[in-house]
């Protein structure tokens, strides 16, 4: 489910081995770099981190935004895999939800870039693949939410959009003095949020439940 053919294969001939290797390296370096320094760092930095010349980056990705989109796709792709695995493997919908929300660092970047990135916003405009990914992601979450409400574990007054929004809150890097602190702080905030999402904890919320459509284009 991971080792498919050339990742962006879209009919174009599969890349030569070295090109493929470099492409992967670039995306990995970019993902890393975006995560650490935000989406505004010089492309040259990414090139250096990937150990390639800047020209190589531009041969593979027509411009900076294309690179961002590619990173987003690559990482969301794996986020999807995780999420679907969660649905299948976990015994309860609640557990799946918990796992979904606890998504890894990699997923964090993905979502940030795809759904939520302020800086990379423009990069996503009018990119059908991105829209598609967003839809797929919300689909998965939608299923989890409904199942969890059906089993009575998730409070009934939230919609898929609400949970997605909560997810978005958690997905941003929390900038605090110590990186370790950030990690555990996020873990704990997630815990609090989950406690707040339990059916048993529910007090009233303002407004209407947010449907998934609220976060689609």
The residue (of 74 and 162) whose beta carbon lies closer to a copy of itself is 162
Q: Which stretch binds DNA (CB under 7 A): 46-54, 85-93, 108-116, 167-175?
A: 46-54
Q: How far apart are CB 113 and DNA at their closest, in Å?
A: 15
Q: Is 52 in the site for DNA (CB under 7 A)?
A: yes
In the list DNA, a copy of itself, none, the entry touching 105 (Cβ below 5 to 8 angstroms by class) is: none
Q: How far is CA 112 from CA 69, 79, 92, in A?
A: 12, 12, 27
Q: How far apart are CA 148 and CA 6, in angstroms?
A: 36
Judge contact between 109 and 35, C-beta under 8 A.
yes
Judge contact between 214 and 161, C-beta under 8 A.
yes
The residue (of 62 and 206) whose beta carbon lies closer to DNA is 62
DSSP state of 116: I
Cα 128 to its chain centre, rounded Å, is 17
Tell which one of 28, 43, 95, 168 touches DNA (CB under 7 A). Answer: 43
Q: Is 10 in the site for DNA (CB under 7 A)?
A: no
Nearest Cα neighbor of 92 from 154, 137, 139, 156 is 154
Residue that is written with structure tokens 């250096």 in the block = 48
Q: How far apart are CB 38 and DNA at their closest, in Å?
A: 11
Q: Is 59 in the site for DNA (CB under 7 A)?
A: yes
Residues that bind a copy of itself (CB under 8 A): 37-38, 40, 115-119, 121, 158, 161-162, 165-166, 168-170, 172-178, 181, 184-189, 191-198, 200-207, 210, 214-217
Q: Is 44 in the site for DNA (CB under 7 A)?
A: yes
Q: How far apart are CA 215 and CA 217, in angstroms?
A: 6
Judge contact between 181 and 155, C-beta under 8 A.
no
The residue (of 17 and 192) whose beta carbon lies closer to DNA is 17
Q: Is 64 in the site for DNA (CB under 7 A)?
A: yes
Q: Which stretch binds DNA (CB under 7 A): 28-36, 50-58, 99-107, 153-161?
A: 50-58
- Structure-block tokens of residue 106: 């990699």
Count of CB atoms within 10 A of residue 159's CB? 21
Residues 100-139, interacting with DNA (CB under 7 A): none
Q: How far apart are CA 179 and CA 193, in angstroms?
A: 21
* Count of residues in the chain: 217
Interacting residues toward DNA by CB under 7 A: 15-19, 21-22, 40-44, 51-56, 58-60, 62-65
């Amino acid at each position: 489910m991971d080792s498919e053919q050339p990742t962006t294969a879209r009919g174009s001939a599969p890349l030569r081995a070295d090109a493929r290797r470099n492409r992967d390296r670039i995306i990995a370096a970019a993902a890393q770099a975006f995560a650490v320094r935000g989406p505004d760092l010089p492309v040259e930095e990414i090139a250096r981190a990937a150990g390639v010349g800047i020209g190589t980056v531009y041969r593979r990705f027509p411009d900076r935004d294309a690179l961002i989109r590619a990173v987003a796709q690559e990482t969301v792709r794996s986020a999807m895999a995780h999420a679907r695995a969660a649905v299948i493997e976990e015994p309860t919908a609640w557990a799946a939800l918990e796992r979904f929300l606890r998504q890894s660092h990699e997923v964090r970047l993905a979502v940030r870039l795809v759904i939520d990135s302020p800086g990379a916003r423009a990069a996503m405009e009018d990119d059908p693949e991105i829209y598609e990914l967003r839809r797929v992601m919300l689909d998965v979450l939608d299923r989890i939410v409904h199942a969890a409400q059906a089993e009575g574990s998730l409070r009934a007054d939230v919609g898929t959009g609400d949970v997605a929004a909560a997810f978005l809150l958690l997905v941003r890097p929390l900038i605090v003095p110590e990186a370790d602190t950030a990690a555990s702080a996020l873990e704990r905030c997630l815990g609090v949020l989950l406690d707040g999402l339990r059916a048993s904890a529910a007090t009233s919320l303002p407004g209407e439940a947010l449907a998934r459509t609220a976060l689609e284009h």
